[in-house]
């Protein structure tokens, strides 16, 4: 990697060209070369999705009776997965936008991946809402008869806005990279492909006026997308927070959900990033810096999550209003205790410790922590949704909810769809923000600082 | 109306802004760029095939359209304020004032039909009258433990809240408050999202998890939210307070069927209620008997009131526990009917 | 609904000898003097002053129970409903107070019974009401906060969308720039030969 960097010299034009060329080749490789393993993966994913589609047709034929949900636990796995996916979607845009606004340069190689996770997760999450509806054929009623006052409509509006903004935010910074693809495809004689990329490249030629216009658009979007992202998961939490149920009737639900969303978003980003890095050999660009910095963010969020949990459960548990005791028993001692303590110990404490100790703060360690966090956050979404509904509202026996094969199949299909979309994306669009990375390197060069992103190199200089 | 207007203005503002800026920018670009800029070196040969102007226009429309697309969702909101499905014109009492239906359940007279050796007759009559699919008990009789160890029976219809959590959260206005004070559901509009079930603090809402059994006579009924016949798969149902029966001048099924006259039904506006035998002034009856509502602290303001008791007026000993299980006799008449657990 | 509605209230005065002073009183020896407002509209609080006296001596009777009731009908069931109840004070005066919910014509008969007996004597009393009054109980869900409504959400949404649209100027400009440069390019090519 960057040869002249360690010595602290200003990278000359030649090495910058070299860097750019290598970077472009690396990004183009997934599009040009496809291994047979890829098709195996796609086959497996399609099979899983097929099973899910079959399960859904069963559900459409027979009604939601094929699920484990009933009147007293009227929302189950679908809604939990929806909340989880919308949470993951914060990976992306929020992280990449915040880091862009704060000009954290290490984020450049991973922004593209993060932004794409956002779009894909939102698509998956929104489709689960349709699956959960009793009358998906009446989906348009939400538009025809929609009421501003309903949290569901807030959700529809927030998610539509977020999805649109995310797609644009994904697309605009990608224009120069797509333009490069366009040129390469044209020079290699792929006319159809070139035409495809030409559409997305909107005539990018790297003209100074174009650079200016593009940067301004990205700047505006990076700022507006932060409040939009915060609003999205706040509003998702209000689906629950706007009810009178014990366990949901909470004022800090918005905060809990947004923090959890960013938390699981970072974890998902770490996992996807590690996989793509391994598969497409991005080691030169996605280095330990990205992992460690995201790891620090994760560690910070484990503490934030613990704090919010403390605030929520101590304030309600101290007083133990009607129904709270039932909720607490099932959550901490009863049938949700396994999930809860896995979430708290396996999803908050252990990942935090992994990142805390230098010995375990390796790429492998951080990825392990991220996997733990993602699984735990899914468990958290699940027990938040289910446990509150299990509290009896009148003198009756609590209903035990257990998802059926239909729900599990659709859940698996949603995950498979998520992976499939990312796999397809990788084969079509540049997975790294080449143009931005080169621009930043130019800037670094001008400032007379080290062009190398690796901390080891920086340390070597000083 | 005001909302529709505000919305239109909003959409117009956004679009105007968008196009105005577009025109403005394109002018500036044209004016400033004509000369001076170096021709791009790697211009593709086939790029000249299409006329530049149209191509750019198409691209702009393409990308711009992508972002405007979800704005289509905005008209959503046209009949947002009320969003109420139509019902018949409300019943009026003396002086043309709108009836305000109310229900008073005198727990002193409710023994859960222990003395009748039958399932609670209010529930059975309601099931028969509304052809409610199994396992829906729109007026369900719970046995509740009292301080001291005895029990009381608690018939629970929909509380017809005046600050209804279900109506507040419904995204499509499928559940709504009528001017008569009842909370109804339009099963022809309901999308089955079940947020109303999550929001109801009384567990008084029921979902058609599957194709509900429908007897032939149900198909004769002209569907109305007032009686919810026939039931529809994937929609929510509940006690509707029988406003159609009251309009026709009869008591609801539950009140008619109660052997002890424990269920009073009447009009808060005229301040009169009856259980089919005697007639009372609602305000005096509620006040002098220390009436309560369920979960008052939630602020839902129910229209269903309870006179505390445990069946003492009909000779029930509060330590006699148990009641007969509810039955859905009509469901057996429907061939191949499907039921589910609650 | 302009015409005055005429109606009469039936007032039943049940007098029982709770107080020792009037223990000798009998229904046919009692007299009730009722004073009520001449006009009552629905929704108004009605106060009816009843003075109970011994018919022969005219002495006032304390501790007598006075009940006002009226004929009513609901969903096919007819009967008499008690609408107010009171006890005469030391001066034999009772105040009957209720919120008027009716708007119908009724007949008023004042009747009274002696202590320990259920024997009624009645004297007609009439009150004329004008105007119907307006709806007393309303079905209004939720709380309305002035100025707060869906428009806040609409404004917010429009604002956010306007900013997103504003950002879309970027790609448009990029496209325009390309076109401009292409125009120059074509022009240049034409001039070369």
User: Does some domain include residue A2?
Assistant: no
**3-class state of residue C50 by DSSP:** strand
User: Does some domain include residue A3?
Assistant: no
**3-class state of residue A450 by DSSP:** coil
Q: Tens digits of per-residue pLDDT, C46-76?
A: 888 888 888 778 888 787 778 887 788 899 8
Positive or negative, the Cα torsion across A74, A80, A82, A87?
A: positive
Q: What whole-number distance in Å separates Cα of residue C189 and Cα of residue B222?
A: 77
Most A CBs within 10 Å, among C151, C166, C168, C177, to test the A interface:
C177
Residue B200 CA, chain-centre distance (Å), reads 10
Residue spans of the domains in chain B: they are 97-328
Q: Tens digits of per-residue pLDDT, A245-270?
A: 999 999 999 999 999 999 999 999 99
User: Does some domain include residue A415?
Assistant: yes
**Tens digit of pLDDT per residue, chain A (462 long)?**
344 444 444 556 668 888 888 888 888 888 888 889 999 999 999 999 999 999 999 999 999 999 999 999 999 999 999 999 999 998 877 777 888 888 788 888 888 999 999 999 999 999 999 999 999 999 988 888 888 889 999 999 999 999 999 999 999 999 999 998 998 888 888 888 888 998 888 888 888 889 999 989 998 998 999 999 999 999 999 999 999 999 999 999 999 999 999 999 999 999 999 999 999 988 888 989 899 999 999 999 999 999 999 999 999 999 998 899 999 999 999 999 999 999 999 999 999 999 999 999 999 999 999 999 999 999 999 999 999 999 999 999 999 999 999 999 999 999 999 999 999 999 999 998 888 888 888 777 655 444 444 444 333 333
User: Does some domain include residue A6?
Assistant: no
The answer to whether residues A135 and B191 touch, using CB atoms and an 8 Å cutoff, is: yes
What integer pLDDT is reported at residue C89 of this predicted model? 85
Q: What whole-number distance in Å separates Cα of residue A234 and Cα of residue A257?
A: 6
CATH entry, B97-328, from 1.10.167.10, 3.30.70.20, 3.40.50.620, 3.30.70.260:
3.30.70.20
The answer to whether residues C126 and C36 touch, using CB atoms and an 8 Å cutoff, is: no
Strand bridging mode C121-123 / C110-112: antiparallel
Most B CBs within 10 Å, among C10, C131, C160, C172, to test the B interface:
C172
Q: What whole-number distance in Å separates Cα of residue A33 and Cα of residue A12?
A: 31
Q: What is the mean pLDDT of each run of 10 residues along chain B (342 residues)?
A: 52 60 51 39 37 48 48 45 57 84 96 93 94 92 94 96 93 91 93 95 95 87 90 94 92 95 93 93 94 94 96 93 89 79 83
Q: What whole-number distance in Å separates Cα of residue B25 and Cα of residue B3?
A: 33
Closest CA to A202 of A175, A223, A225: A175
User: Does some domain include residue A4?
Assistant: no
Q: What whole-number distance in Å separates Cα of residue A16 and Cα of residue A451?
A: 9
**3-class state of residue B318 by DSSP:** coil
Q: Tens digits of per-residue pLDDT, C6-28?
A: 334 444 444 433 333 333 444 45
Tokens of A365: 């360690």
Share of chain B above pLDDT 90, in %: 57
The answer to whether residues B139 and B254 touch, using CB atoms and an 8 Å cutoff, is: yes
Q: What whole-number distance in Å separates Cα of residue A451 and Cα of residue A446?
A: 10
Most A CBs within 10 Å, among C170, C172, C176, to test the A interface:
C170
What CATH number corresponds to the domain at position A339? 1.20.1630.10
- Identify any residues that bridge with C93 across adjacent strands, giving them in sequence order: C51
User: Does some domain include residue A207?
Assistant: yes
What integer pLDDT is reported at residue C155 of this predicted model? 86
Tokens of B297: 């602290």
Domain that holds residue A268: 13-461
CATH of domain C20-123: 2.60.40.10
Q: Kindly list the distances between the CA atom of residue A241 and the CA atoms of A154, A237, A246, A344, B269, in Å, as whole numbers in the listed order.
A: 13, 6, 10, 22, 35
Q: H or E stretch including B145? A: strand B140-145
- Identify any residues that bridge with A157 across adjacent strands, giving them in sequence order: none
Note the ipTM here. 0.86
What integer pLDDT is reported at residue A122 of this predicted model? 94
Nearest to C177 among A149, A154, A207 (CB): A207
Q: What whole-number distance in Å separates Cα of residue B207 and Cα of residue B237?
A: 6
Instruction: Kindly indicate the confidence band of residue C109, based on its pLDDT and cuts at 50, 70 and 90.
Output: low
Burial readout A299-309 (b: 16 or more C-beta within 10 A, e: otherwise): bebbebbeebb
Q: What whole-number distance in Å separates Cα of residue B19 and Cα of residue B27?
A: 12
Per-residue DSSP letters for B76-98? GGTT-SS-PPP-PPPPB-GGGPB
- A171 in reach of chain B (CB within 8 A): yes
- A199 in reach of chain B (CB within 8 A): yes
Q: Tens digits of per-residue pLDDT, B301-311?
A: 999 999 999 99
Higher pLDDT, B24 or C165: C165
Q: Which chains touch A (3 or more CB pairs under 8 A)?
A: B, C
Spell out which residues of chain C touch residue B265, defining contact as CB-CB under 8 Å: 75
Interface of A with B in 52-81 (CB under 8 A): 62-65, 69-72, 74-75
- When divided into structural domains, chain A yields a total of 1
Tokens of C30: 């009692």
According to DSSP, residue A73 is labeled B
Q: What whole-number distance in Å separates Cα of residue C39 and Cα of residue C11?
A: 16
The answer to whether residues B179 and B267 touch, using CB atoms and an 8 Å cutoff, is: no
Nearest residue of chain A to residue C151 (CA atoms): A148
- Contacts of residue C64, defined as CB under 8 A and 6 or more positions apart, other chains included, come to C15, C16, C17, C18, C19, C22, C30, C52, C87, C88, C92, C94
Spell out which residues of chain A touch residue B236, defining contact as CB-CB under 8 Å: 134
User: Does some domain include residue A319?
Assistant: yes
Give the closest-approach CA distance of C35 to chain B in angstroms: 23
Spell out which residues of chain A touch residue C175, defining contact as CB-CB under 8 Å: 202-203
Interface of B with C in 279-318 (CB under 8 A): 279-281, 283-284
- Identify any residues that bridge with B236 across adjacent strands, giving them in sequence order: B207
Interface of C with B in 36-95 (CB under 8 A): 42, 72-83
Question: Within 10 A of B85 (CB to CB), how many other CB atoms are there?
Answer: 20
Spell out which residues of chain C touch residue A157, defining contact as CB-CB under 8 Å: 153, 157
């Amino acid at each position: 990697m960057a040869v002249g960097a360690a010595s602290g010299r200003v990278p000359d034009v030649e090495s910058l060209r070299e860097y750019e060329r290598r970077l472009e080749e690396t990004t183009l490789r997934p599009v040009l070369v496809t291994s047979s393993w890829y098709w195996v993966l796609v086959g497996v994913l399609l099979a899983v999705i097929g099973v899910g589609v079959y399960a859904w047709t069963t559900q459409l034929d027979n009604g939601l009776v094929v699920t484990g949900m009933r009147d007293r636990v009227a929302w189950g796995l679908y809604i939990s997965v929806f909340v989880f996916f919308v949470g993951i979607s914060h990976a992306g845009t929020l992280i990449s936008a915040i880091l862009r606004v704060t000009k954290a340069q290490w984020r450049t190689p991973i922004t593209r991946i993060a932004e794409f996770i956002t779009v894909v997760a939102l698509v998956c999450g929104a489709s689960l809402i349709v699956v959960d509806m009793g009358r998906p054929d009446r989906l348009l009623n939400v538009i025809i008869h929609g009421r501003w006052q309903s949290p569901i409509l807030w959700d529809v509006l927030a998610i539509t806005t977020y999805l649109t903004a995310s797609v644009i935010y994904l697309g605009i910074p990608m224009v120069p990279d797509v333009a490069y693809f366009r040129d390469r495809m044209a020079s290699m004689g792929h006319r159809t492909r070139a035409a495809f990329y030409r559409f997305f490249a909107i005539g990018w030629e790297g003209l100074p006026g174009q650079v200016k216009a593009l940067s301004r658009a990205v700047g505006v979007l990076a700022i507006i997308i932060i409040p939009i992202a915060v609003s999205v998961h706040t509003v998702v939490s209000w689906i629950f927070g706007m009810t009178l149920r014990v366990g949901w009737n909470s004022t800090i639900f918005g905060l809990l959900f947004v923090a959890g969303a960013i938390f699981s978003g970072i974890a998902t980003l770490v996992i996807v990033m590690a996989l793509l890095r391994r598969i497409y050999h991005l080691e030169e660009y996605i280095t330990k810096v990205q992992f460690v910095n995201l790891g620090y963010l994760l560690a910070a969020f484990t503490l934030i999550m613990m704090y919010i949990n403390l605030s929520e459960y101590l304030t309600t548990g101290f007083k133990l209003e009607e129904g709270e005791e039932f909720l607490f028993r099932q959550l901490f001692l009863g049938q949700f205790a396994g999930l809860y303590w896995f979430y708290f110990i396996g999803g908050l404490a252990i990942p935090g410790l992994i990142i805390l100790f230098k010995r375990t703060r390796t790429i492998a360690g951080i990825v392990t922590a991220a996997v733990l966090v993602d699984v735990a956050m899914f468990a958290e979404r699940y027990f938040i949704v289910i446990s509150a509904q299990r509290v009896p509202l009148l003198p009756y026996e609590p209903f035990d909810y257990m998802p059926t094969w239909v729900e599990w199949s659709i859940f698996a299909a949603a995950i498979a769809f998520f992976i499939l979309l990312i796999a397809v994306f990788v084969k079509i669009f540049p997975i790294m923000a080449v143009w931005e990375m080169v621009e930043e390197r130019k800037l670094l060069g001008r400032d007379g600082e080290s062009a190398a992103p690796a901390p080891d190199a920086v340390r070597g200089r000083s | 109306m005001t909302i529709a207007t505000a919305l239109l203005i909003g959409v117009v503002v956004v679009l105007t802004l968008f196009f105005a800026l577009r025109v403005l920018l394109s002018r500036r670009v044209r004016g400033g760029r004509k000369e001076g800029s170096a021709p791009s070196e790697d211009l593709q040969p086939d790029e000249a095939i299409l006329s530049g102007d149209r191509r750019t226009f198409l691209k702009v429309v393409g990308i711009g359209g992508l972002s405007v697309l979800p704005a289509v969702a905005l008209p959503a909101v046209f009949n947002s304020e009320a969003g109420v499905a139509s019902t018949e014109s409300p019943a009026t009492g003396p002086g043309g004032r709108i009836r305000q239906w109310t229900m008073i359940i005198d727990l002193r007279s409710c023994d859960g039909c222990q003395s009748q050796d039958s399932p609670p007759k209010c529930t059975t009559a309601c099931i028969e009258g509304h052809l409610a699919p199994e396992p829906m008990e729109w007026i369900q009789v719970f046995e509740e433990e009292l301080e001291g160890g005895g029990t009381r029976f608690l018939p629970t219809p929909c509380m017809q809240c005046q600050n209804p959590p279900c109506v507040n959260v419904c995204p499509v206005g499928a559940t709504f408050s009528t001017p008569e004070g009842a909370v109804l559901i339009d099963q022809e509009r309901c999308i089955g999202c079940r947020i109303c079930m999550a929001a109801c603090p009384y567990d008084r809402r029921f979902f058609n998890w599957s194709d509900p059994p429908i007897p032939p006579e149900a198909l004769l009924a002209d569907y109305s939210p007032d009686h919810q016949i026939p039931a529809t798969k994937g929609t929510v149902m509940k006690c509707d307070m029988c406003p159609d029966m009251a309009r026709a001048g009869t008591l609801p099924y539950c009140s008619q069927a109660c052997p002890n006259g424990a269920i009073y039904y009447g009009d808060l506006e005229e301040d009169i209620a009856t259980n089919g035998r005697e007639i009372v002034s609602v305000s005096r009856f509620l006040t002098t008997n220390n009436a309560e509502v369920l979960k008052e602290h939630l602020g839902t303001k129910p229209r269903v009131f309870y006179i505390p008791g445990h069946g003492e007026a009909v000779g029930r000993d509060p330590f006699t526990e148990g009641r007969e299980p509810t039955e859905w006799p009509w469901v057996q008449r429907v061939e191949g009917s499907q039921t589910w657990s609650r | 609904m302009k015409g005055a509605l005429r109606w009469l209230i039936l007032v039943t005065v049940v007098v029982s000898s709770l107080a020792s002073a009037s223990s000798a009183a009998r229904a046919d020896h009692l007299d009730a003097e009722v004073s009520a407002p001449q006009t009552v509209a629905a929704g108004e609080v009605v106060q009816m002053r009843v003075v109970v006296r011994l018919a022969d001596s005219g002495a006032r009777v304390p501790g007598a129970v006075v009940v006002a009731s009226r004929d009513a009908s609901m969903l096919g069931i007819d009967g008499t409903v008690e609408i107010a109840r009171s006890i005469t004070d030391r001066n034999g005066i009772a105040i009957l107070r209720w919120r008027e919910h009716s708007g119908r014509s009724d007949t008023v008969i004042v009747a009274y019974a002696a202590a320990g007996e259920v024997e009624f004597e009645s004297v007609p009393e009439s009150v004329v009401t004008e105007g119907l009054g307006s709806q007393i109980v309303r079905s209004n869900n939720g709380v309305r906060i002035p100025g707060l409504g869906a428009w806040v959400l609409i404004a917010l949404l429009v604002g956010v969308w306007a900013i997103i649209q504003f950002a879309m100027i970027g790609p448009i400009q990029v496209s325009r720039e390309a076109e401009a440069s292409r125009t120059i390019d074509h022009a240049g090519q034409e001039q070369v030969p």
